[in-house]
Structure 1
Amino acid sequence: MKNKLLLFMLIILVSITLVGVVTLIVLNQLSAEEDEVKEPTIEEIVESSVDIPEITTNISGNNFARLSIKIQTDSPEAATELAQRDFQVKDILIEELSEMTKADLEGKEGKKAFEDTVKLRVNELLQEGKVIRIYTTSIVIQ
C-alpha cells in the first residue's frame, strides 16, 4: 500500500515538473520571437526612403502651399519604384492640396490627416512594397 502511494506521488511530482519545464521553454521561444521584431535603423530608413522635392501649388481660398516630403517605404525595392513614380506622387500632392483650405493644413491634426491621405493614395500606386510613413520636411502656407 505504501509503495503504491509513493509511486503515485512520484508520478504526480514528475508530471508537474515536466509541465513546468515545457511551459518555460514555450515562453522562452515566444519572447525570443518578439525580440526579433525590431525597429529599423536610421540607415535602413534612409535607404528605403525617397525625397519628393519642394512643390508649390494653389490651395482653396486664394492661398498657396509650398512643401516637401520624405516618404519611407518598407524596402529599398519599393523606394526605387517610388523614385520612378515621383511625378505621380507630385500629382497626388497637388490634387490633395487643391481641395484643402489653409485651416485644413494648420496644426498637428491637419498635417497628420494630410500625410495619412497621401500615404493611402501612394500605397495604391505601388506594386512593390508599401509606404510606412510620410514625413513633412518643410511646409509654408500663405
Structure 2
Amino acid sequence: MFKNRVINITFIIMTLMIIGIITVFFVMNGIAQSKSDVKNPSIDQIVNNLTLATGEITTNISGDHFIKVDFNIQVSNSAAKDELSKRSFQVKNAVIYTVSGMTPANLQDQKGLANLENLIKNRLNSFLRSGTVTHVYTTEKIVQ
C-alpha cells in the first residue's frame, strides 16, 4: 500500500473507525425508530401491534345498577402495548374505579360514553411509562 508502515497502520485504523461510526449510527437510528411513536399507523399496524382488548369487565355502578363493558385500547407504540398487557390488572382496576362512581344516566348517551373513554385514557396514561394511550374504543356496553 504505502511505503511507510506508520501511514499504513494509521490509514487502517482511520478506515475502521469510520466504518464503526457509520455502523453505530445506523444501529442507534434503528433502535430509536423502533421505540418512537407510530405517527400514522395503518389499520394492520393498529390491529396487530397497537391495540389491546380489556376483555369483558362487569361491575356495579351507582345505585342498584351494574355495567358490563369491553374496551379496545390503542397505544402509541408496541412497547406500550407490551407494558399495558403486563399491567392488565391495573387496566381493569382503572376501568372499575372510573365507572363505579357513574350513574346510568351518565352512560346512556354518546357524550357520556366519550367522557368515560377520555377518563379511562387519562387514568391509564398516568401510569404508562413506555408510551401513551392514544384512543380508548368501547366495543361493548350494557347498563342495567
TM-score bin, normalised by smaller chain: 0.7 to 0.9
Give the superposed CA RMSD. Answer: 1.3
Call closer, same or farther: CA 1:38–1:98 in 2, change over 3 Å: closer
The gaps in structure 1 that reach 5 residues or longer are 1-36
2-structure distance, mates of 1:68, 1:135: 9
* SS in structure 1 of the partner of residue 102 of structure 2: coil
Instruction: Compute the displacement of 1:141 (Å).
Output: 0.4
Q: Aligned partner of 1:141: which letter?
A: V
Partner of 1:73: 75
> Match for 1:72: what amino acid?
Q
Question: Which has the higher Rg, Structure 1 or Structure 2?
Answer: 1
Out of 101, 105, 108, the position equivalent to 1:106 is 108
Q: Deviations over 1:64-102 (max 9, x none)?
A: 000110000000110000000010010011111110000
Query: Are 1:138 and 2:140 counterparts?
Result: yes
Q: How does 1:25-104 map to 2 (within 5 A)?
A: 39-46=40-47, 47-104=49-106
Between the two proteins, what is the percent identity of the paired residues?
41
User: 2:131 aligns to what SS in structure 1?
Assistant: coil
Q: What TM-score results when the alignment is normalised by the length of structure 2?
A: 0.71
Q: Between Structure 1 and Structure 2, which shows a larger proportion of helix residues?
A: 1
Q: Measure the CA separation in 1 of the matches of 2:57 and 2:63.
A: 18
The superposition leaves residues 41-84 of structure 1 with CA deviations (integer Å, 9 ceiling, x where unpaired) of 01111111111010100000110000110000000110000000
Moved over 3 A (4+): none
The AA in structure 2 aligned to 1:41 is S
- Which residue is 2:15 aligned to? none
Change beyond 3 A, Cα 1:77–1:140: same
Number of matched pairs:
106
Partner Cα distance (2:105, 2:44) in 1 = 36
User: What SS does structure 1 have at the residue aligned with 2:129?
Assistant: coil
Cα offset, 1:39, TM superposition: 2.9
